[in-house]
Amino acid sequence: MKVQNVLSIFICFLCLNSVFYLTGCEKTKTVDKSQKEIPQVQQEEVPLIPLDDSEGVATLTRNFYFIFDGSGSMANKVSGGEQQFENKLVGAKWAVRQFMTKVPDDVNLGLYVFDGNGRREVVALGSGNRERFLSAVEQIRAGGGTPLFSAITFGADQLVNQYKQQLGYGEYRLIVVTDGIADNISSAARYTDRFGIPIYTIGLYIGEDHPLRQFSMSYRAADNFEDLARALEETVAELPSFDVTEFQALQ
């Protein structure tokens, strides 16, 4: 009997020890889990774009805001491709005209230019402005530097404002056509990424090594003006699908 009692006590001791051990493991797991969630909390510090139902209308309208580089280097003559022009700027204008024939009528367009006349928005983001868009492109005159940072951040702001107006629905793209390299590209990219605005870059005669390549949702190198026209068309054609029935159910 004494042996059985001792054995029983020993078994109870083992069971209690196991309980304490498992409990300690569980606590350890909980601490580890909370520590792993810290980066997620930091990610949530990125502000969401505030929406006001009283100020906007939910719509699936697509929005393309263009940054057009009209810097001094666009006055350089280049060769390659079937289409030959006086300089890069003339060829780029031709490519834009070709591209605009394929843009759906219901797309909102906006245009920011930097050229010999300075940096400025020449077409505000909106609908029914196709002719004004083309006219503004034709008026670009080569000159000046390549202020991509200010152009990109300004364009992102316009798309964010439109995002608010559409209550978060629709498509938003910042399309950059450039033949030059500028400083602060990473800062500009971080600014657009803060609001989830994707950059689509077409590098005209500058190859694959442009700094925007690593920050853009899509980067295309145009080695001639046919490539530029094709890249523009493909850029706006890369639209993710959206469940229209789900959207209508929310109305």
Query: What CATH number should be reported for the domain holding residue 66?
Result: 3.40.50.410
132 and 202 part of one domain? yes
Q: Beta strand pairing status for 62-69 and 118-126?
A: unpaired
Matching residue, tokens 């003559």: 77
87 and 177 part of one domain? yes
pLDDT at 130: 95
Higher per-residue confidence, 183 vs 9: 183
Residue type, 206: I
Nearest Cα to Cα of residue 147 among 184, 189, 96: 184
151 and 232 part of one domain? yes
191 and 73 part of one domain? yes
15 and 97 part of one domain? no
* CA 42/CA 36 separation, integer angstroms: 11
| Number of CB atoms found within 10 A of residue 190's CB | 11
Is 221:209 a contact under the CB 8 Å cutoff? no
| 179 has pLDDT over 80 | yes
Its pTM stands at 0.75
30 and 114 part of one domain? no
Task: Work out how many domains the chain is built from and give that number.
Answer: 2
* Cα separations in angstroms, 127 against 70, 111, 131, 197, 208: 24, 12, 11, 20, 33
Q: How many Å separate Cα 7 from the centre of its chain?
A: 70
* CA 44/CA 159 separation, integer angstroms: 22
What is the 8-class DSSP label of residue 73?
G
pLDDT tens string 35-82: 333 233 233 344 567 776 667 899 999 999 999 999 999 999 987 778
Question: Going by C-beta distance under 8 Å and a sequence separation of 6 or more, which residues neighbour residue 140?
Answer: 68, 70, 89, 93, 113, 115
Is 108:61 a contact under the CB 8 Å cutoff? yes
189 and 67 part of one domain? yes
| 242 has pLDDT over 50 | no
* CA 143/CA 117 separation, integer angstroms: 7
119 and 179 part of one domain? yes
**Helix intervals (H) in the chain:** 2-36, 38-43, 88-100, 130-138, 148-165, 185-194, 225-237, 244-249
121 and 230 part of one domain? yes
66 and 164 part of one domain? yes
Side-chain-facing half-sphere of 173: CA atoms under 13 Å:
27
What percentage of the chain exceeds 90 in pLDDT?
Answer: 55
pLDDT at 225: 93
Q: Is residue 51 part of a domain?
A: no
Host domain of residue 35? 2-42
18 and 125 part of one domain? no
Query: Quick check: helix, strand or coil at residue 12?
Result: helix
Query: Mean pLDDT, the chain, as a whole number?
Result: 79
